[in-house]
Structure 1
């Protein structure tokens, strides 16, 4: 009986961990919008579009972040925000065709390893 309860808790915990990563992805997309806005003329239609989209994404992120910190210890939630480095690197490759160096990859891997260590007890 205890094993079933423990498995249920782990599944729920895993669900919230995935939700946390989703929220972090949302957050990093605001940076993509900011980069696009920065490449346009100030107050042009595209600037206002991307800037407005950035603000919308940040508002959605703020609401979702409240749900995250309700369910996670603050230290766990903020440690996972370090995964934003990974997602930002993915977006830089996909959207902006930027070059990622070996040092970038090693740095992100170290951060991800640290995040895994912090999460080991909570997931």
Structure 2
């Protein structure tokens, strides 16, 4: 059985999730450039998005070697929080009560998964 998630692994996991969410930022900027008729910019950004997703895939494989898969996937849901922060900081989107409640539920679930006690096998 893999060890319980420690602070260092949690930070690495969140960094990997941040890498994943940065691909959505690049995607949105690419879409905006396509709408404004900047075809080459769109293609470059689309290529960058694919590159970021490749880096994410490699990092994710390393994370799941260190962390239980169920814990890693639960933490991947934190992408909602990071995406909300990107949307507010980079695109000026508004935070609504519904969004806060949704992210709060995800955070609560992630804390429950991360805070669970490790089960011992007494066979």
TM norm. shorter chain > 0.5 = yes
Match for residue 116 of structure 2? 121
Could you tell me which runs of 5 or more consecutive residues in structure 2 were left unpaired when the two chains were aligned: 119-123
Q: Distance in 2 between matches of 1:44 and 1:96?
A: 21
1:31 to 24, 27, 45: 24
1:49 is aligned to 2:44: yes
Contact 1:13-1:122 within 8 A present in 2 as well: no
Superposed, 1:51-90 pairs within 5 Å as 51-90=46-85
Q: What is the Cα-based RMSD across aligned positions, in Å?
A: 2.0
Query: What TM-score do you get using the length of structure 1 for normalisation?
Result: 0.85
Moved over 3 A (4+): none
Bigger share in helix: 1
The 1-side partners of 2:100 and 2:7 are apart by: 26
Shift of 1:117: 0.3
| 1:21–1:122 distance in 2 versus 1, CA, 3 Å | farther
Unmatched runs of 5 consecutive residues or more in structure 1 = 1-8
TM norm structure 2:
0.85
In the TM superposition, what is the alpha-carbon distance from 1:106 to its structure 2 partner? 1.1
